[in-house]
Amino acid sequence: MASGDAGSFDPLVFAAQRPNFQIGQHDSRRQAPLSDLQYGYLLNQGINFVTTPITNKNFRKRVFALVEKHLSLLRNSEKSGTTTTSALAEPVLPPLTPEDTSVFPSASVNTYTGFISPWIDLASPNPIIASISRQVLNLEINYANFTGLRTLVLPGPLRDASKNGGTQGLAQYSRAVREALTVGSRLTFLVHMPMYREPGTEQTESLSSLDKDLPSQEAEKNVDIYTSWDSWNHIRGICDYNLRLFVALQMPRKLPEKNLQDRWFAEPLHYLTLGPQVFQKNQSGYSSLTKHHQRLIFDYMRLKNYPWLLLCDVGPDVSGIDTSAGSFADKGVDISSKDQFPSLSESQNAPQPSFSTRAPSDHLDYVKWLESQQPPLTYLESDTLTSFQDWLQSPLQPLSDNLESATYEVFEGDPVKYEQYEFACIEALSEWRELKKPTSKEGVVVIAVAGSGRGPLVTRALRAAEATGVTVEVWAVEKNPNAYVYLLRMNETVWEGKVNVVKADMRAWKGPVISTTAEAGPVYGKVDILISELLGSFGDNELSPECLDGIQHVMAKPYGISVPSAYTAHFSPIATPKLYADILSRSATDETAFDTPWVVHLYALHFVSQKVPGHARIQEAWEFTHPIPEDTLQSVEARRSGGVVGGGGGSMAGAAGANDHNSRYCHRTFVCPTRGVMHGLAGYFESTLYESQSEATRGQKVEISTHPDYIEQKSKDMISWFPIFFPLKPRQQLGTSIRRLAQLYAAPDPKHPPQIGNGAPQTLNGQPLLVRYIIPAHPTLLIPGPIEFDDAVLQSMSHYSESHVGPAFVATFGETLTQLRQLFQSTDASAQPYIISGSGTLGWDLVAANLVEAGENALVLSTGYFGDAFADCLTTYGADVTKLDGAVGGRPQLPEIEKALSQKKYKILTVTHVDTSTGVLSELKDLTATVKRVSPETLVIVDGVCSVACEEIAFDEWGLDGVITASQKAIGCPAGLSISFFSGRAMQAFEKRKTSPASYFASMKNWTPIMKNYEAKKPSYFATPSPQLVHALNTALKQILAKPLSERFARHTEVSDKVKKAVQDLGLQVVATKPEDQAHAMTAIYLPENVKIPDILPKLAGKGVVFAGGIHKAIATKYIRFGHMGVSVTDPNRRDIDHALEALKSSLSECGYQKA
C-alpha cells in the first residue's frame, strides 16, 4: 500500500452487509424438548435456537403441594416464628424423578437454552417460599449442568426495591444468583428483566400466590421506570460484575424515554424477548412493531455482540407435528428396497404426493422481513472496526517504543485525517504566498514533518505544494531506525529524492542543514511550517506538548507555524458495565488495571450526565497551543539553569519547574438527572490543524475531532483515534438530580499520564494522585550508592520464593542477561554478560583472576580510592601493576598514558569511569582509541560501578573489552549483584591463559557455561543466585530500557549541571577541578573551612537528606559527597534533588557559613 493510501476499500461491498438476526422461540406451555421433526421444522422456518424447561408440570405440582402443606401446618401451629424465621423446620425439596423432567443428555441438548421454572420467587418476603425457590433453582442448575445445557434463563425478581418487601427480597434474589454462578461454574446465566415495570404485565402465578398473608401487589399510578434497571444494577453489583451474567431484556409494548433505552443499550444484553403484547396489527392485519421498536432493534444490532431475538409465545406452532417418529426399522422400512429408495431418475418420473402447507407464522415472517430492512452497515461498522468495540487497549508510547510497520499501516488506513492535514497544508501555503510572508530560506517554504513514521504526512505536504504551486523544501525527521529505512526507500521510489530524511529524536534535531564546511561544520537553518501527528486520545496524553516544545527551537520566528496549532481535551462521566466488568476481572492479576487510562472504541456506553443550561454533557478540560509564546519559552530556558536539550537520541531539558507550563488542572460539574452508576470518564479531543490568518477568512479553521457532538461536522468517519477511558474504583452510584464533580490533572511526566480525582484532588482510588510511592517515609538516600529505589523495583523484591532452576526464573534470568547487552549497547554475539551474587568488588576479582596471569603487566589509571583498590586487587592475584595517578580532582592525561603504553607491554589497562571518592569522570572513547593505536593487544577494562546507566558507555563502538559494575548504583537495584560484560576478545584471552584461574568462586571457567545456559533459557547450576534480586534487576532494566538511553544520559547530565551550578552559587568548589572531569552521577563538594563533616551530616539528615563523608585519604575530612543518579534524577516528581539543595543551603547556614 502506498503511503497515505486508504487502501482498496469499496463502499459497495459494505452497502450489501447487514447484521444477521439470530431468532429463537420460547413457548411457556412447552413441557419437554422438541422432537427431531419439530426442531427440524423450526429450523426450516428460520428459527435458529429454541428453549426448553428443565422440569415439567409434574415437578411443579409436587413443589406447590409441598409448599402449600407446609404453609398450612404453619398457620395451624401453636409455635410462633419471626419475620424471617419459620416456626417449623424448613421443608427440604425431594430429588428429581424421571417423571419430573423430560430433558436428558443427548447430542442436541447443548443447542437448547434452558429456562428455570418461572413460578419460583427468590425475592419472596416469606422465608419458606424464598428457601424452596432457591432449592428449586440450585436443583435445576445442577441437573441442567449434568445434561449438557450451557445457557440458562433465570426469571427476574418479581418485585423491585421500591415495592413492598423489595429491599430485603432483592438482596435475597441477588444472593441466590451469586450462589448460582458458583453452583453452575461453567454455565452462562441470563436474568430475564423487563425494560421497565409496565402496568398490566405483572406475573400473577408463583409460589408466593400460595401465601394468602402476603400483601397484594397493586399497580402503581405513577410508574418509576427506573426500578427494573435499579434491580438489575443491584444484582450484578452483588455478583461482582461476573462475566458469565447477562440480561435477557423483555421488550415492553410502549417504549420508555430514550435515556432508559440508552442505559439498557450499555448493559451485557444477550436476548431481546418479544412477547405477543409487543406486536400490533398493521392496516393489513399482520403482526408488526412500531417504528420506535424497529429503531431500537436496529440500534442494538450495531453492537459487536448484538442481542439475539427470542420470540416468546409467538411464532411457528409445532404442537401438531407428529412427535412419535422413530427409526426406519421401527417403521418396518426396508432400506435395501429399491421401492423404498428409488434412483434420482425414477424419483423424478414418479407421481408427486400432495401436501397441505402449514400457514407460516406472521410474527416470524415479520421479524425476518425486519432483518432485511436494517440500514446497511457503513464502513465504520464493518467487521474489522466493529471488532474493536469496547476492547481495552493500552495507549501507544511512540516516544519510548519503536512502532511496527503494521501499526503505522493501521493509522495510514484513515483517509480522513490525512485529507484534513493536506487541506491544512494547502491553506497554510496559499496564505503564505497571499500574505507574502518571509521564508527562512530564499525562495522556498521550509517544511519539517516531525515524527514522520512511514511518511503519509510527507506525501500530503508534497501534494499540497503541488496543488498550490508553492516551492517547498521538505524535511522528514524520524527517530525509529526501522521507519527511517522505509523513509529512505520512499524518497527513492515515490518522492523522487525531493525529501531530506533525518534520523533523530525531534527534540535533538538542530534544524535543516543549510551548508557544511570542513572548518565550521554544518550550518543549521530554521523551519517555516512544522507538521506533526503526536496527538493522543486525550490530546496531550502521548506527550505532544513536551515533544513540540522540544523542537520549537528550530521554528522560524515570529512567523513559523505549527500544524496542529492547538488542541483541547474533553471528558464526560459514563456508565460502561462491560468495560468495568472486564477491568474488574483483570484487576485480579493486574493491580494497575484501574489506574490505567485505556484506549477504547467506546460503543456500549451511557452518558450519565445531560446537557442543561450552564453545564454541557461533555466538557472541556484544558487546551494546548503551539508554538508556545516566546516569553514562556524564555522562562523555560531560564528554569533549566544551564540544562541542555539533546544528546544522541534527544532529551527534553526538564530541571524542576522547566515543564510546569504544561501542567493542567480542571474542576468541572456535571448534572446527572436520574439515578444511575458511573464507571469512569470518557475522554476525547479536538484539534485545530490550521487557523486562517488572512483578513478575509480570519478565524476559519481546519479541524479534526473525536468529540461525539462534533466529529460528524469536523472529521466525519475519522478512525485514527479511539476515545480514552479513565476507570473509577469503586464505581460511583448516582442519586436523583445529582451534581457530580470531576477533577482532572495532567502531569507532564510520561510516567504519570492524565489522572482523575473524585471529589478530592489529593487522591485517586485512595492513593496519592500524582506521586504514588509505596516505600515508607524515610530520609532520602543521596550518597554515591546505594541509591533510592523505584516502587516497582521494591515490589519485585517481594516475589514469592521459587526454584533457581525452575522454568519461570530461568526465563527471567535469561531475559535479564539479554537486557544487559542492550544496556551496554552491544550487539556482539561473542561478548558475554555475567550476573553473580556479590558486590561490585567481586568484579575486580573476576578481572584479576581470569584476564591476568601472575607476572603479567597491568596498567591501572587511578583517580582516587577505588582506582588504588583495583590496583591492590590485581597485585594480590600476582599481576605486575603500574599505577598512573591523577592529581586529586584530576585524571591521568593521554600523553602520559601513551608514554606508559609504549614503554612496556601490558596485558590489561584498567580505568575507573567514575571514582566516587573524588567525583572524577574518566574519558573512555579517546582513551580506548589511544590504547588500540599504541598497544592493540592490551585489553581495556572499565570499572563502571558508578557510571553504568548514568554515563554513556558505547561498548562495541568504543572497542571496550570489559565493564564491571554493580546493582546498587545508577541501575537502581538493591545491593548484592556483581554485573560484568566482557568482549569476545577478552573471552578469547581467558581461554588462551596458561594457568588455571586463581579463584574458584570468581572463575570464568565455572560461570561462563552457567550464563550461556541461562541466556538460552536452560536451567543450570554452579552457585545459587538470588531470585528476588534478579527479579528486581529485571524490573530496573526494563524501566531503564523503556526509553532511549541517550535521554537517560542527558537527564543525568542536566541534573549534574544544576547541582554544580548550585554549589558554585553557594560559593563552594567541587573536588573535580575541570568541567570535563566532573562526573554526572555524583558531586564531591569541598566544605568551607569552618564547617566540619560531623556537624553538617547530622543537620542534613535532620532535614531528611543523607549525604556521605569523604574517603580519599588526602582530603577525607574536607569534603562531602552528593549522589544524584537513578530514580532521584529520572523522576522529577520526587523533587529529591531540589530538596537536597535546599537542605544543603540551610544546613551550611546553620553551621555558621555565609557566602563571602
Note the pLDDT tens digit of each residue in 392-444.
Answer: 887 766 666 676 777 777 677 788 999 999 999 999 999 999 999 999 999 99
Q: What is the CATH number of the domain that holds 104?
A: 3.20.20.150
Cα–Cα dist 979/756, whole Å:
41
Rounded to the nearest integer, the mean pLDDT of the chain is 86
Rounded Cα–Cα distance for residues 969 and 960 (Å): 21
Catalytic residue among 198, 267, 542, 1015: 542
Distance of CA 439 to the CA centre of its chain: 43
pLDDT at 949: 97
Q: Would residue 945 count as lying in a domain?
A: no
Q: Do 496 and 609 reside in the same domain of the chain?
A: yes
Q: Which position among 198, 422, 533, 703 bears the catalytic label?
A: 533
Least confident of 653-657, 695-699, 1095-1099: 653-657
pLDDT score recorded for residue 338: 58
Residue closest to 618 by CA, chosen among 681, 678, 673: 681
Query: Which range of residues forms the domain containing residue 497?
Result: 405-746
Grid look-up 422461540 returns: 25
- Residue 762 CA to residue 745 CA, distance in Å, equals 10
Half-sphere exposure of 318 (CA within 13 A, CB side): 25
Q: What is the pLDDT at residue 649?
A: 33
Mean pLDDT of 1120-1142: 91
So what's the pLDDT on residue 307?
A: 96
Task: Write out the DSSP string of 374-438.
Answer: SPPP-GGGSHHHHTTBT--BPPP-TTTS---HHHHHHHHT-HHHHHHHHHHHHHHHHHHHHTT--
- pLDDT greater at residue 766 or residue 895: 895
Answer yes or no: do 276 and 415 share one domain: no
pLDDT at 978 over 60: yes
**Exposure of 766 in the CB half-sphere (CA atoms within 13 A):** 5
What is the pLDDT, as a whole number, of residue 631?
A: 75
Residues 617 and 730 in one domain: yes
- Burial of residue 108 (number of CB atoms within 10 Å: 0-12, 13-18, 19+): exposed
Residue 1147 has pLDDT above 90, yes or no: yes
Q: In this structure, are 477 and 588 located in the same domain? A: yes
Is-contact 124 169, C-beta < 8 A? yes
pLDDT band at 767 (very low <50, low <70, confident <90, very high): very low
pLDDT-derived band of residue 620, with 50, 70 and 90 as boundaries?
very high
Q: What is the pTM of this model?
A: 0.61
Same domain, 409 and 269: no
Q: What is the pLDDT of residue 3?
A: 32
> What pLDDT was estimated at residue 1058?
96
Q: Same domain, yes or no, for 291 and 434? A: no
Confidence of residue 1059 (pLDDT cuts 50, 70, 90): very high
* Domain annotation covers residue 185: yes
* Grid cell listed for 934: 599504541
- Choose the weakest-confidence range: 393-402, 552-561, 993-1002: 393-402
Most confident of 74-83, 630-639, 1089-1098: 1089-1098
Residue 314 to residues 310, 311, 365: CA-CA distances in angstroms? 10, 6, 11
- Residue 678 pLDDT greater than 80, yes or no: yes
Candidate from 456-470, 727-741, 937-951 with smallest mean pLDDT: 727-741
1143: in domain: yes
Q: What pLDDT, in 10s, does the model give residues 328-358?
A: 444 454 545 555 556 666 655 655 544 344 4
Taking residues 77-84, report their average pLDDT: 55
Let me know if residue 377 belongs to a domain: no
Instruction: Give me the mean pLDDT over the 131-154 stretch.
Output: 96
Of 1130, 1128, 1149, 1053, the residue nearest 780 (C-alpha): 1128
Residue 89, classified by CB atoms within 10 Å of its CB into exposed (0-12), middle (13-18) or buried (19+), is exposed
1031 is a domain residue:
no
Local confidence band at 632 (pLDDT 50, 70, 90 cut-offs):
confident
Tens digit of each residue's pLDDT (9 = 90 or more) over 450-501: 999 899 999 999 999 999 999 999 999 999 999 999 999 999 999 999 999 9
Active site residue 788: no
One domain for residues 150 and 279 = yes
Q: Does residue 412 belong to any structural domain of this protein?
A: yes
pLDDT at 1042: 86
State which of 746, 781, 797 marks the end of a domain.
Answer: 746
The predicted model gives 1076-1087 an average pLDDT of: 97
pLDDT of residue 940: 98
Which pLDDT score is estimated for 772?
A: 30
pLDDT at 86: 54
CA 1052/CA 1082 separation, integer angstroms: 10
Name the domain count of the chain.
3
Annotate 1012-1057 with three-state secondary structure: HHHHCCCCCCCCCCCHHHHHHHHHHHHHHHCCCHHHHHHHHHHHHH
pLDDT reading at 751 higher than 90: no
pLDDT at 1131: 83
The band of 944, judged by pLDDT with boundaries at 50, 70 and 90, is very high
Please give the C-alpha separations between residue 387 and each of 14, 377, 590, 832, in angstroms, as whole numbers: 15, 14, 24, 46
User: How far is residue 554's CA from residue 512's CA, in Å, rounded to a whole number?
Assistant: 8
**Spatial separation of the C-alpha atoms in residues 284 and 279, rounded to whole Å:** 14
Q: Are 484 and 403 in contact (CB under 8 A)?
A: no
Closest CA to 508 of 399, 405, 407, 408: 399
Higher-pLDDT residue of 799, 892? 892
Cα separation of 67 and 75, whole Å? 12
* Contact present, 483 and 503 (Cβ < 8 Å): no
Grid cell at residue 567: 488542541
Residues 284 and 170 in one domain: yes
Convert the pLDDT of each residue in 848-887 to its tens digit: 999 999 999 999 999 999 999 999 999 999 999 999 999 9
pLDDT value for 1 = 27
pLDDT band at 1073 (very low <50, low <70, confident <90, very high): very high
Residues 6 or more apart in contact with residue 191 via CB below 8 angstroms:
153, 154, 156, 177, 232, 235, 245, 246, 247, 248
Q: Are 734 and 1120 in contact (CB under 8 A)?
A: no
Q: Is 427 marked active-site?
A: no
pLDDT at 360: 56
Residue 976 falls inside a structural domain: no
Mean pLDDT of 559-581: 94
d(CA 915, CA 1146): 28
* Domain assignment present for 899: no
| Mean pLDDT of the 268-288 span | 92
Question: What integer pLDDT is reported at residue 404 of this predicted model?
Answer: 77
Cβ(952)–Cβ(1049) below 8 Å:
yes
User: Given a cut of 80, is residue 652 above it in pLDDT?
Assistant: no
Q: Which residues contact 873 (CB under 8 A, 6 or more apart)?
A: 841, 844, 845, 848
CA gap 780, 1107 in Å, rounded: 9
- Both 605 and 466 in one domain: the answer is yes
Q: What is the 3-state secondary structure (H, E, C) of 955-990?
A: HHHHCCCEEEEECCCCCCCCCCEEEEEECHHHHHHH
- CATH number, position 457: 3.40.50.150
For residue 61, pLDDT over 90 is answered with yes
Return the H-helix or E-strand segment holding 1123.
Answer: strand 1119-1123
Residue 194 has pLDDT above 50, yes or no: yes
Q: Of 746, 781, 796, at which residue does a domain stop? A: 746
Tell which of 280, 297, 312 closes a domain: 312
**What is the arithmetic mean of pLDDT over 203-210?**
82
pLDDT tens readout for residues 220-230 = 556 789 999 99
